[in-house]
Chains A and B, each alone.
Chain A
């Protein structure tokens, strides 16, 4: 009898332990001693503030993930490179990350000009690269290996233009854009003219400048003669701020709206009082967001950012990228064995392509059929020296 009871209790213990093991999803430990991920960020050049944001966001995520046990039990090791926000350096860097550093996946690059160059090469290299702030429409179509965890500029600017017009009663406007930057050119030549027409704003004239243009005075003099109600600016934040300063210096009272690349603390830092009332957009709700994860991220970010600046949406999106990479690696059965490298990269690609409703700090992210992120967008306005959500 005693023996029967002992066997029965052992059987119950066995069943309970088995249930416990099945109930707690422990992901299989990966092979090797680390998970290699590439980090491609333009921390110098025209998009430096965006690239720096992505780098800091990634660093925070990696530290958190590693402290919590890493991916499949292994710590993440990031191999960092600076693409200088230029198309030319990005190809050898992607090649190096793929072939020499043998990373599983690349977080980055940042801007559209670099994605435009890098994405077509991914078909040959067969490695996933995920941009975190590129917003020129159509770029993810260039390769099934290229993803962008962000919203394209047309989707960001539509509500912003509507609110800008309503706030200032804009009836006429001009557009000035950087003809050397991929997203700025599309914003200036295509997106803003279409949105202005859609919202009943008459486009008076378009002007273009170059990345190395230092003096905006002649453009502003021409714009002043047209006397527009508003000025649409397709450029990065530095040029946007300089245009605003020069416009105020020449006595222009027109209101500004900037493209996706404009909404960074750098715009306010450079532009000062001249950018008060400046409209923009963001692909992540940062200012005033009550989500404790966002509050915690912003606090940590400011400790690490130059001069304690607030993050742009690129910081939050790059942070989310790392957590999505972790989720995909763990759920898609990546082995991390050197012999399985190409199979693992393909599994990561499949995981990103079917990503749905990921609850990140930048919003709920779903990849559409092109490989672009979907999620919340907010309109921003500069008021009292900071961005406020409208």
Chain B
């Protein structure tokens, strides 16, 4: 029964990792850019969600889309001002620019919200369902459900819509996509918007799931998102979805399997990353990024 409970814990944690990693991998797939500030967009989303709930008292089903719109716009601003103007000839320049955005967003948040943990309001009333010794809370189920739903929507968006097909074309080759009539700049901008909207949703869900949010939370999720992206395969959206769940389960396993006085959750996460880089650098589900 404990193992089953831990399995649930792992899936809950993994679902949030998946949401973060999808945004990462979308941007990496389309631009070949490691968007380091993606975690800070998640943090910004968490605070936006917090204040939407506190100021307006709006329910979660309205707060979540509003936050996604707000972080989507934030993503567009980041892309427009911090990435687009940078010359592509300097390979490290866009990465360094996103690190700069990370620092700016984090310090802005410290200045505005204070440098400490803030309680995320109870966006939904929590009910505890008991099945023998097993307990599942209604908020955990809802978070998992929303995360899976967003992933499925994104999957169909990329697979079935015109914009999604254009995204895949741009991911293959900017030049060829351009020749075929795709407005590459517009698709890049949309990709940033969609990825940032997902990060905003992840921020709100993280706030509900883990009770507090801080200006420092972005880095933790950014690093885990990076591991998941490598695990699932660079630019592979489905890989990121499954990779997140695998990492969540792996972290929980570290608490169950390793002697309890030693905390090895992060050792597990980054150990997995190193093993993948050594033995399967294309990720478990294969990379979708073309060699540029």
Give me the interface of A with B, judged by CB distance under 8 Å: 43-45, 48-49, 52, 82, 84, 179, 189, 205-210, 212-215, 217-219, 221-222, 224-225, 238, 241-242, 245-246, 249-251, 266, 269-270, 272, 306
Contacts and interface: CB of A to CB of B under 8 A. Distances in A.
Most buried by A among B212, B214, B216: B212
Contacts of A251: 128, 130, 135
Contacts of B135: 249-251
A82 B266 CA distance: 27
B116 A218 contact: no
A242 B261 CA distance: 19
Contact of A84 (B115, B210, B220): B115
Contact of A218 (B9, B118, B210, B212): B9
B212 A225 contact: no
Contact of B211 (A207, A222, A270): A270
B5 A206 contact: no
A306 to B, nearest CB: 6
B290 interface: no
Interface string B260-273: 11110110000000
14 contacts: A44-B215, A48-B114, A48-B115, A84-B115, A207-B255, A207-B261, A207-B263, A215-B12, A215-B209, A218-B6, A218-B256, A222-B260, A241-B212, A269-B119
A214 B205 CA distance: 12
Interface in B7-23: 9-10, 12-13
Given A215-B13, A218-B252, 6 more contacts: A82-B115, A217-B12, A218-B6, A224-B2, A238-B212, A266-B116
Contacts of A205: 260
Can you list the 3 inter-chain pairs with the closest CB atoms, starting with the nearest?
A: A44-B115, A48-B116, A238-B117
B263 A217 contact: no
A219 B255 contact: yes
Contacts of A219: 255
Interface string B13-50: 10000000000000000000000000000000000000
B142 interface: no
Contact of A207 (B117, B206, B260): B260
A112 to B, nearest CB: 18
Q: Which of B115, B135, B262 has the most CB of A within 10 A?
A: B115
Interface size on B, as a range, is 35 or more
A238 B216 CA distance: 13
A258 to B, nearest CB: 15
Contact of B210 (A207, A215, A266): A215
A242 B115 contact: no
B161 interface: no
Nearest to B209: A215
Contacts of A224: 2, 133
A206 B260 CA distance: 6
Given A215-B9, A221-B9, A242 B2 contact: no
B211 A245 contact: yes
B16 to A, nearest CB: 9
Contacts of A209: 263, 265
A222 B9 CA distance: 11
B110 interface: yes
Nearest to B252: A218
A272 to B, nearest CB: 7
Nearest to A213: B265
B126 interface: yes
Given A210-B265, A238-B117, A218 B220 contact: no
A287 B118 CA distance: 23
B151 interface: no
Contact of B115 (A45, A217, A266, A272): A45
Contacts of A250: 5, 135
A214 B210 contact: yes
Which of A43, A84, A205, A213 counts the most chain B CB atoms within 10 A?
A213
A214 to B, nearest CB: 5
